[in-house]
Amino acid sequence: MYKFVECIDAGSEYCPCHLAEKGECIICSQLQNKVFCDCLYWKGTCIYEELLKNGNKAKKTRQYKKCDIIAIEKIRDDLLIYDIRVSNSLLRELDNIGAYVFLKSPNFPDYFGTPISIMDINYEQQSIKLLIKIHGIKTKDIKDCNEKIMVKGPYWNGIQGQRFLRNLKDKSVLILGRGVAAAPGVLVTRRLTLNNNKIIALLDKGRSDKNICTDYYTKYGAEVNNLSIINYKDKTLTDDFKKYIKDILEKENIDVVLAAGDDEFNSLIINYIHVRRTDICFASVNNSIMCCGEGICGSCIVKLSGKEIRSCKQQYNPLEYYYVEDGK
Ligand code: FES
């Protein structure tokens, strides 16, 4: 299967990064200690030249900034929506598919930072909206923040398979989401509907009483159906879902499917749809454990075709990642 060689930061103001400085650049062969020039993914700038121009040093990395919390909506004790005011430039950078930030409270060290996807943005308020599930030390730290919070960004690799979503125009995209993982799909919907794409969303509320994201999807014009998609007890897709998907694949000309659930969910739906329609491309939310977000710590590494992929920076093809031989 075709393997992507694409760094989400290549050509941005954060490129070249420390990987290039240490001879581990994802894209540039010269900065992998090879002697020939064989740039694998051109993003408009020569990373090698940029590094030389910068005195063989990485560009300045993202820094935490203290931001105001505008509102906190409590959905449940362990489920909160934060509205955070950010600078205008950061807001614009975050209005992109797959955008996320690291959050932490002002009183704790940087290793408390946890990555959270942008669900929605508001230019009038100059704010980002994030749906946060409280389930560990880092997110409990966020829950303690009521007025101020530290925000570091922008990061963009929250969605894999972005090449299938970028520049889509007048196409149809199906988003299959479950619980909190469906939140990044809202921003995808926002971006895609700007280019007259049709969005159909099937949303599973997960363990919540209702689908928290539904109103946000409909706000941006998606056709939303709320249903149960997966039986977690026996790890199968529900009959209801199979009926919906049969109808959609018959009636709609779906170009791309975005899988927005946990790995089990993504794997089940991608394989189910792939055996029925091999021409559909897949994107998925990135469920890797991220610590640094800069390609350094290795916590997000996944193995594909025998190669290690730093999934915080590098894009991969979700079909390749989730594909199983006997996908039913
Ligand atoms: S999160 Fe540290 S290398 Fe990806």
Last residue of a domain, one of 40, 60, 80: 60
We report the CATH number of the domain holding residue 312 as: 3.40.50.80
DSSP helix/strand/coil, 183: coil
- Taking the C-alpha atoms of residue 103 and residue 155, their distance in angstroms, rounded to an integer, is 12
- Ligand 1 pocket check for 312: Cβ under 6 Å: yes
Q: Is the bond preceding residue 184 a cis peptide, omega within 30 degrees?
A: no
Residue 250: predicted pLDDT? 96
Instruction: Report, as an integer, the average pLDDT of 86-113.
Output: 97
Asked if 74 and 197 sit in the same domain, the reply is no
- 69 and 97 share a domain? yes
168 and 101 fall within a common domain: no
Any ligand 1 atom below 6 A from CB of 300: yes
Which of the residue ranges 2-16, 54-68, 92-106, 292-306 would you say has the lowest mean pLDDT?
2-16
Residues 149 and 46 in one domain: no
2 shares a domain with 89: no
* Range list of H helices, 54-123: 88-94
Same domain, residue pair 42 and 112: no
Domain limits for position 272: 159-322
Q: How many domains is the chain built from?
A: 3
- Secondary structure of 280-325 in HEC code, one letter for each residue: CEEEEECCCCCCCCCCCCCCCEEEECCEEEECCCECCCHHHHHCCC
* Same-domain pairing of 226 and 82: no
Question: Do the Cβ atoms of 154 and 125 come closer than 8 Å?
Answer: no
Average pLDDT of span 169-182: 97
CA 27 to chain centre: 20
Whether residue 7 is predicted with pLDDT greater than 90 in this model: the reply is yes
327 found inside a domain: no
Distance CA 9, CA 27 (A): 10
Domain co-membership, 279 together with 226: yes
Mean pLDDT score, 141-158: 97
- The CA 289 to ligand 1 mean position distance, Å, reads 8
248 belongs to a structural domain: yes
pLDDT for 317 equals 94
Pair (168, 316) in one structural domain: yes
Q: State both tokens at 281.
A: 């491309």
299 lines ligand 1 (CB under 6 A): yes
- For residues 143 and 168, state if they share a domain: no
Measured from the Cα of 296, ligand 1's closest atom is: 3
CATH of the domain at 124: 2.40.30.10
pLDDT at 327: 55
Do 198 and 309 lie in a common domain? Answer: yes
Query: What are 24-78's pLDDT values in tens digits?
Result: 999 998 898 888 887 767 778 899 999 999 999 999 999 999 999 999 999 999 9
Predicted local confidence at residue 45, as pLDDT:
87
Flag whether the pTM goes above 0.75.
yes
Question: Ligand 1 centroid to 230 CA: how many Å?
Answer: 30
CA distance 279 to 272: 13
Report the atom number in ligand 1 closest to the C-alpha of 295: 3
Evaluate whether 246 touches 239 at the Cβ level (below 8 Å). Answer: no
The residue among 95, 122, 155 that closes a domain is 155
Say whether both 104 and 74 belong to one domain. Answer: yes
